[in-house]
Chains A and B, each alone.
Chain A
Amino acid sequence: MFLARIEGTITATAKHPTLEGLRLLIGQRLEADGSPAGDPLILVDTLGARQGCTVMVTSENEPLRKAVGNNTPVRLLVAGIVDTVYQEAAA
């Protein structure tokens, strides 16, 4: 699991049928210091994360497969909306 910031939204008409009705967001994975890590990612959101939210993302899609079927080609889910992050100071 990792932290990401919500930075946008995406809409699509042509898509895999299991994506029908799912809320898709553009998220940016974050380094420990809050800087962006890697390319923007498409996330499935069921919690109602908003623009600018920091969220925790999981790459285990079991809940989604249970909901929409084993053949869904989606892995990244918003598992929680972050309130606070505590982190030990770097030495």
Chain B
Amino acid sequence: MRLGVVRGSVVLSLATPELTGLRLAIVEPIVRESLEKRGGHPGLPSSSLGGGKPLIAADQLGAAEGQVVAFIEGRTAASPFWPDKVPVDAYCTLIADTIEFHGAGDRPLPPAAGGTERRRSQSRKPNQ
């Protein structure tokens, strides 16, 4: 699942029977840089979030424009309709109340690759 901001919706005049009556939201994925810029404040909404390539996701929660959602892509996106088979490959799973994002925080990334262990500084060696 990725995070996204609802930017609009799509209405079909003609649709396959499985999609009839299904709300389709336009979702702009939230990229890492935009979350980092916003910082760790849990409050929503944030109009500056987004930055990804917009896509269409099925929405049964009624997410409004500007709301932050999480969406699943791929085969699993059709799971809520199981055992029916529907041609859906993106689905809004939740509407976010709060998002707390600390980024890498004060913990450094695991040290760069180099034949040594990358986390915790015990001096164990492999193959011993």
In the complex, what residue of chain B is closest to A71 when comparing beta carbons? B82
A10: which of B40, B83, B98, B113 is its contact (CB, 8 Å)?
Answer: B98
Q: How far is the CB of A71 from chain B (nearest CB, A)?
A: 5
Contacts of B110 in A (CB 8 A): 30, 34, 54, 85
Decide yes or no whether A80 CB sits under 8 A from chain B. Answer: no
A19 contacts B32, C-beta separation under 8 Å: no
Residues facing A in B25-62 (CB within 8 A) are: 29-32, 35, 40, 52, 60-62
In the complex, what residue of chain B is closest to A36 when comparing beta carbons? B32
B117 contacts A86, C-beta separation under 8 Å: yes
B99 contacts A10, C-beta separation under 8 Å: yes
A 18-37 to B, binary, CB cutoff 8 A, 1 in contact else 0 = 01000010101010111110
A40 contacts B35, C-beta separation under 8 Å: yes
Interface size class of A (residues with CB under 8 A): 35 or more
Decide yes or no whether A67 CB sits under 8 A from chain B. Answer: no
B97 contacts A11, C-beta separation under 8 Å: yes
A 25-67 to B, binary, CB cutoff 8 A, 1 in contact else 0 = 0101010111110111111000000011010000001000000
User: Residues of A at under 8 Å CB distance from B?
Assistant: 5, 7-16, 19, 24, 26, 28, 30, 32-36, 38-43, 51-52, 54, 61, 70-76, 82-90
Given A10-B98, A86-B116, 11 more A-B residue pairs with CB atoms under 8 Å apart are A8-B99, A10-B96, A12-B70, A12-B96, A16-B61, A24-B70, A33-B112, A34-B118, A71-B81, A87-B115, A87-B116
List, sorted by A's number, 15 A–B pairs whose CB atoms are closer than 8 Å: A7-B105, A8-B103, A10-B96, A12-B70, A16-B93, A38-B32, A51-B102, A73-B72, A73-B80, A73-B93, A74-B93, A75-B72, A84-B122, A86-B116, A87-B114
Q: Top 9 nearest A-B pairs by Cβ distance?
A: A89-B115, A15-B94, A52-B107, A8-B101, A42-B1, A12-B94, A34-B109, A14-B95, A85-B118
